[in-house]
């Protein structure tokens, strides 16, 4: 613990010293110490300081050095716009030219069209053409994720010539751990690992040592599909082709980590009933705008619940005790439905649930609903009998709990599977939506049973 504290204090001292050199405009001292840091630490420092300090950094650091910092940043759209607009447009364009094309696309996608077009005009022609092509792909597809900085070799070339290509192109490639093999028409035909290339005989032909069973993605494939492939195969990089199998680019594992984080946050948002995860720095109006649509929809569903209860007003008037157990029944069924929903949504997202296992999952959840419903129902019968000394009320509440949990568990598993079958993200069957839906069904079951058994109560 002492060592960790000393390390943090040292880090704070380093930040203070860097700030001092910047404010005193001691460029040599700042550059020597700042550029010795890891890019992640450079990015953290860059984000923590104010705009005046950052403007000094732009004078002290070249566009190429700033490009490495920008590639290490994790930014939302407003932060990207703010940082870019602090820079001189020519400096920003040069910085973007030094970044990998997929990272440039990520940055430019967060800017409005006028700013985007301005930077493309200021960038060097070759980079601008590559970026413009990638910007044409729909967001959240393989085409929008890929980079064009990769190493490819001809299948008819020798290992010796392939090594020469690798040495020439490696400085500009995002990764060299995989070398992709193409034919004379640049169609993807195989792949080599760097190890395969190093240990092979120099006179061997690439087509004789390559792996021709290549896993690839089409430029239009969804990013969730790509993330699942990376997870299944443990790839570091992944080729992307067009409909004619012409190699268009590669997707690297660092981009997929961002995708997994983005998809997890998105699913969590939908399960929580909001349009997007709240940024802790966002103002109350922005946060309210994100949450309000779901709340309004759930408000109307809640009104439906109130209207439904109004239909059983006479039953509640005759046996007022029944109202005491409404929160218990609706809450328990809602919790049960949310549990089933979370299991199914996660299974779909991770690929554990496929077409063959969907029916098995539904039957499993039905069995789970029967067992948990029966257990909870028996507990409630005993508690209500000991509390209110009424076996009939206990049986009524216990039966309602049993039926509500069974129905809620079935709905929590079936609804996301149905939505997924329709091609919609199953996470939209959010926790609040399932909970409100189960409130309606549980009250209908409970008060319906109470009305049928009114003469016995």
Q: Using an 8 Å Cβ cutoff, are 362 and 410 in contact? A: yes
Show the DSSP H helices in 49-124 as ranges.
51-60, 63-72, 77-86, 89-98, 101-109, 113-122
* 79-121 pLDDT tens trace: 777 888 899 999 999 999 999 888 888 888 888 888 889 999 9
Q: List, in order of start, the domains of the chain with CATH numbers.
A: 11-139 (1.25.60.10), 152-261 (3.10.580.10), 284-456 (1.10.357.20)
262-290: per-residue pLDDT in tens? 666 665 555 555 555 545 555 677 666 66
Q: Per the structure block, which two tokens stand in for 241?
A: 């082709």
Q: What's the pLDDT at 453? A: 79
Strands (E), 316-429: none
Instruction: Provide the 10 A C-beta neighbour count for residue 17.
Output: 14
Q: Write down the residue that tokens 């792909």 correspond to.
A: 137
Structure tokens at 27: 């460029």
pLDDT score for 91: 94
Q: Provide DSSP, 92-103.
A: HHHHHHHS-HHH
pLDDT tens figures, 26-40? 999 999 999 999 888
The predicted-structure confidence for 247-264, as pLDDT tens digits, reads as follows 999 999 888 887 777 666
Closest-CA residue to 312 (of 187, 195, 454, 178): 454
**What residues contact residue 26 under an 8 Å CB cut-off, 6+ apart?**
20
Residues of the chain with pLDDT under 70: 1-11, 75-78, 262-283, 286-295, 297-298, 301-302, 305-306, 308-310, 313, 316-319, 349-351, 424-433, 455-457
The per-residue pLDDT for 65 is 94
10 touches 18 (CB < 8 A): no
Quick one: which of 31, 91, 26 has its CA closest to 58?
A: 91
| Angle formed by the axes of helices 223-233 and 253-272, nearest 10° | 120
What angle do helix axes 125-135 and 89-98 make, rounded to 10 degrees?
80
Whole-number Å distance between alpha carbons of 329 and 405: 9
Per-residue tokens: 306: 């109130």
Quick one: pLDDT at residue 5? 36
Backbone φ and ψ for 391, nearest 5 degrees, come out as: -65, -35
Length reported for the chain:
457
Structure confidence by residue, pLDDT tens digits, 187-214: 999 999 999 999 999 999 999 999 999 9
Give the separation between CA 92 and CA 76, rounded to whole angstroms.
Answer: 18
Residues 6 or more apart in contact with residue 91 via CB below 8 angstroms: 58, 63, 66
- Is residue 427 classed as helix, strand or coil in its secondary structure? helix
The pLDDT value given to residue 81:
79
Q: How far apart, in Å, are the Cα atoms of 294 and each of 199, 279, 302, 414?
A: 58, 18, 12, 21
Helix (H) or strand (E) holding 178: strand 178-182
What span, in angstroms and rounded, lies between the C-alpha atoms of 141 and 134? 11
Q: Which helix (H) or strand (E) holds 9?
A: helix 2-23
Output the pLDDT for position 279. 53
Q: Look up the pTM and report it.
A: 0.60
Cβ atoms of residues 229 and 217 within 8 Å: yes
Q: Radius of gyration over alpha carbons of the chain, in Å?
A: 30
Tokens matching residue 394: 């206990």
**Mean pLDDT across the chain:** 83
List for the chain the helix, strand, coil content (%; round to 5): 70, 10, 20
């Amino acid at each position: 613990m002492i060592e960790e504290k000393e390390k943090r204090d040292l880090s704070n001292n380093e930040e203070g010293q860097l700030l001092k050199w910047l404010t005193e405009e001691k460029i040599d001292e700042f550059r020597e110490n700042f550029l010795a840091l890891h890019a992640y630490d450079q990015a953290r420092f860059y984000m923590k300081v104010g705009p005046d300090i950052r403007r000094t950094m732009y004078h002290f650091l070249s566009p190429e050095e700033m490009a490495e910092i920008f590639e290490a940043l994790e930014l939302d759209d407003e932060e990207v716009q703010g940082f870019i607009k602090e820079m001189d447009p020519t400096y920003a364009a040069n910085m973007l030219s030094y970044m990998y094309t997929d990272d440039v696309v990520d940055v430019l996608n967060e800017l409005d069209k006028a700013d985007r077009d301005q930077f493309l005009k200021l960038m060097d022609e070759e980079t601008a053409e590559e970026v413009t092509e990638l910007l044409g792909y729909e967001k959240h597809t393989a085409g929008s994720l890929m980079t064009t900085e990769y190493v490819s070799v001809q299948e008819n070339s020798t290992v010796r010539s392939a090594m020469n290509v690798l040495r020439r192109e490696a400085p500009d490639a995002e990764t060299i751990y995989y070398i992709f093999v193409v034919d004379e028409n640049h169609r993807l035909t195989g792949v080599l690992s760097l190890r395969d290339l190093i240990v092979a005989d120099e006179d061997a032909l690439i087509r004789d040592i390559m792996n021709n069973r290549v896993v690839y993605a089409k430029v239009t494939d969804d990013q969730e599909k790509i993330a699942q492939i990376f997870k299944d195969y443990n790839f570091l990089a992944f080729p992307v082709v067009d409909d004619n199998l012409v190699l268009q680019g590669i997707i690297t594992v660092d981009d997929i980590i961002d995708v997994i984080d983005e998809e997890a946050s998105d699913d969590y948002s939908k399960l929580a009933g909001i349009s997007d995860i709240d940024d802790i720095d966002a103002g109350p109006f922005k946060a309210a705008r994100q949450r309000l649509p779901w709340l309004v929809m759930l408000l109307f569903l809640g009104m439906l619940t109130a209207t439904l209860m109004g239909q059983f007003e006479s039953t509640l008037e005759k046996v007022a005790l029944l109202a005491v157990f409404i929160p218990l029944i609706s809450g328990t069924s809602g919790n049960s439905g949310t549990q089933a929903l979370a299991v199914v949504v996660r299974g779909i997202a991770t690929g554990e649930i496929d077409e063959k296992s969907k029916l098995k999952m539904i039957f499993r959840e039905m069995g789970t609903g029967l067992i948990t419903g029966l257990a909870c129902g028996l507990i409630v019968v005993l508690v209500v009998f000991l509390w209110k000394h009424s076996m009939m009320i206990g049986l009524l509440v216990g039966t309602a709990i049993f039926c509500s949990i069974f129905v809620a568990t079935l709905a929590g598993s079936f609804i996301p599977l149905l939505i997924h079958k329709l091609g919609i993200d199953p996470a939209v069957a959010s926790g609040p939506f399932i909970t409100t839906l189960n409130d309606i069904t549980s009250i209908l079951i409970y008060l319906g049973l109470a009305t049928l058994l009114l003469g016995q109560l």
